[in-house]
Structure 1
């Protein structure tokens, strides 16, 4: 079976591990994989692997050109505009699994263009019908599937498939060791991590203002701003240092993934103001490591954590909290940790992909 993965974003840190995993013949894949992107920088990074393709048009237009050549098309992140996405051919749509990313559902609603908003409203019903014809939804969290079905008014509901990006031999053992190490009590200031990138949707400055009243306490603000917009990054750093002076630890360079996991294990509290699923992978790792999580009320992350019964807290409540309330470990760390024990399984990502491809092969005969 020929499977085309369209890499919709230039996120090398996700797409490269995906290509590496699906190109690893030792993992026993039964299908032939192809990888296409319209991002030149990403293409230059992955072109050493077999079956890589560069295209210069939009994703929907590209799919309309090539859909007959492949049995299954997996879109890895699709920041669609309604006008472009609504032109997908119905027969092509039936071959698509949309691997949903956190920012996929934002674009046209936030457009400053009145013309774009009007076009979006007129064409949105067409887009809903096209998406309802998809084969399924790939997800990082099962809540992604509910979000898509609700957002695009899909009555029957598309089926979801867990599609992770990364396979690393020994990852499970690495997680276990880092977790065990993190259980040791170390006397140091409370480390509070705000967001995970220089993305305006994470509203760092709002969080910094909520925490201002704790500026004289023994804490350290942790800002991971290694990717995102430069201007926004600068504003966040300036505001953090204005309020917390030298109690700010700023990360602006990408870390190797094993080093980053250890870094996360040394955080005490994580806060994020985004309404979307930004930082989902970080949040899951932090929960596995037993950390205290604050999210926006009724946000994607709030819904997700409620659904899987993770003890967590709301950023809106910080304004009424004392420092003791804010920092207390008044939640079930062990229960939270156990919810994400799958992180100790090296091949969880491989299994998710294999289950999708095996089912699709059965269905197409």
Structure 2
């Protein structure tokens, strides 16, 4: 699994609720990045580092080292186990799994990046696409494209024989559509919801005046969820610039993503909106971030793929209107009973021409409470999955799970 927040939470579930001696965790850490998982805290966790930077030489060297040093060790370990759980199927992990013929069943916890980076979906709008071309190095781009194209072929081979753990059926349908796979689906969420509802329900208590962003009756618009280009920040800002005569500020989370891209978005945001564009560049403590989200009047998600689901659910729980493109994430929220707005309603929402009633707010809060996995429900899902594996030693009837889930939809 990758060194990420949700990976850490999953490890904590296993360590605290199950026999930790039966589980071994191999963590893929991005070189020079923040560490979420401390291996010294656990006896059954080991870390290996790889470069995901666009420095071609560093990228190649670290990957040669990875496959030279880790391939034999991990393959040997894989042959000793009954089940292999993959959290985020990266190129490195695909290479390790390629043509593996051991007895172990492979279960893939599919993340959004696992799917949307590998299907022919237009992720970038025109202005963002043009910006990325300007920022890219053609030589680096060609070399890295060759690398990823090669491992994409390997990855497709691996996907044919895995079982899928994913709570979004729209994403599973897209996987079945674009990959030649008979993969079976386990739909229960195994990650706990990181949101503390008790903290969210408390009154805002400003620790620092700089986080008191709502002043003089202006609207606060949240733009995107990160500094990743799939947010299409520039296209969204150009669209919002046509409304800049109205009294609003833009809060733009940019705490992670390609540094050169983030720098350009800050520049463009300041050029278009001046001091009304407020970038959030640090990883904020949850309490502070919740305080900021409580002040938001409207959230604009300009992604062409499902992304920022955690932020979306927080905003829905807080009763904030969300304006987003009609992605699988949009339809998933609609199907669950949430009231969200399409991007076509953006101008009307800024002008208060679309009503967002208290009844709608209460409906959304109820939906978010029911749908988000609590720690207890995540533990229950993991326990159910492990029982299936332990008692039957076969996952073939997981197909029944997906068939029943899709029936009537």
TM-score normalised to structure 2 length? 0.71
Q: How does 1:54-133 map to 2 (within 5 A)?
A: 54-55=47-48, 57=66, 64-80=75-91, 84=95, 87-89=98-100, 91=102, 95-107=105-117, 113=142, 120=149, 124=153, 127-128=155-156, 130-133=158-161
Report the equivalent of 1:205.
234
Residue 241 of structure 1, aligned match among 253, 270, 285: 270
Say how many residue pairs are matched: 343
**Partners of 1:265 and 1:289 within 8 A in 2:** yes
Give the drift of 1:175.
4.1
Give the drift of 1:286.
1.0
Per the alignment, in what secondary structure is the counterpart of residue 251 of structure 2? strand
Per the alignment, in what secondary structure is the counterpart of residue 23 of structure 2? strand
Residue 15 of structure 1, aligned match among 3, 7, 11: 7
Unpaired runs of at least 5, structure 1: 1-6, 180-184
Q: Deviations over 1:36-68 (max 9, x none)?
A: 123266487333222112346369887644222
Q: Measure, in 2, the Cα distance between the counterparts of 1:57 and 1:276.
A: 31
TM-score normalised to structure 1 length? 0.78
Per the alignment, in what secondary structure is the counterpart of residue 19 of structure 1? helix
Residue 177 of structure 2, aligned match among 150, 157, 180: 150
* Structure 2 residue 367 is matched with structure 1 residue 339: yes
Residue 198 of structure 2, aligned match among 166, 169, 173: 173
Q: How does 1:349-360 map to 2 (within 5 A)?
A: 349-360=378-389
**Partners of 2:224 and 2:252 within 8 A in 1:** yes
Give the drift of 1:313.
1.9
Give the drift of 1:241.
1.7
Moved more, 252-261 or 38-47: 38-47
Residue 275 of structure 1, aligned match among 293, 300, 304: 304
**Partners of 1:198 and 1:229 within 8 A in 2:** yes
Per the alignment, in what secondary structure is the counterpart of residue 284 of structure 1? helix
Give the drift of 1:287.
1.1
**Partners of 1:164 and 1:349 within 8 A in 2:** yes
**Partners of 1:60 and 1:87 within 8 A in 2:** no
Give the drift of 1:357.
1.4
Report the equivalent of 2:356.
329
Report the equivalent of 1:3.
none
Residue 283 of structure 2, aligned match among 244, 254, 268: 254
**Partners of 2:169 and 2:187 within 8 A in 1:** yes
Per the alignment, in what secondary structure is the counterpart of residue 278 of structure 2? strand
4+ residue runs of structure 1 moved beyond 6 angstroms?
59-62
Give the drift of 1:317.
4.8
* Structure 2 residue 352 is matched with structure 1 residue 362: no
Moved more, 246-255 or 105-114: 105-114
Task: Report the aligned-residue RMSD.
Answer: 3.8
Specify whether residues 22 and 44 from structure 1 end up closer, same or farther in structure 2 by C-alpha distance, changes over 3 A only.
Answer: closer
* Structure 2 residue 5 is matched with structure 1 residue 47: no
Unpaired runs of at least 5, structure 2: 49-64, 121-139, 205-213, 395-409
Report the equivalent of 2:186.
159
Specify whether residues 261 and 17 from structure 1 end up closer, same or farther in structure 2 by C-alpha distance, changes over 3 A only.
Answer: farther
Moved more, 276-285 or 309-318: 309-318
Specify whether residues 322 and 274 from structure 1 end up closer, same or farther in structure 2 by C-alpha distance, changes over 3 A only.
Answer: closer
Q: Measure, in 2, the Cα distance between the counterparts of 1:322 and 1:142.
A: 30
Report the equivalent of 1:182.
none
Specify whether residues 105 and 141 from structure 1 end up closer, same or farther in structure 2 by C-alpha distance, changes over 3 A only.
Answer: closer
Q: Deviations over 1:160-211 (max 9, x none)?
A: 331215679xx343344469xxxxx997321111111110111111111111
Give the drift of 1:247.
1.5
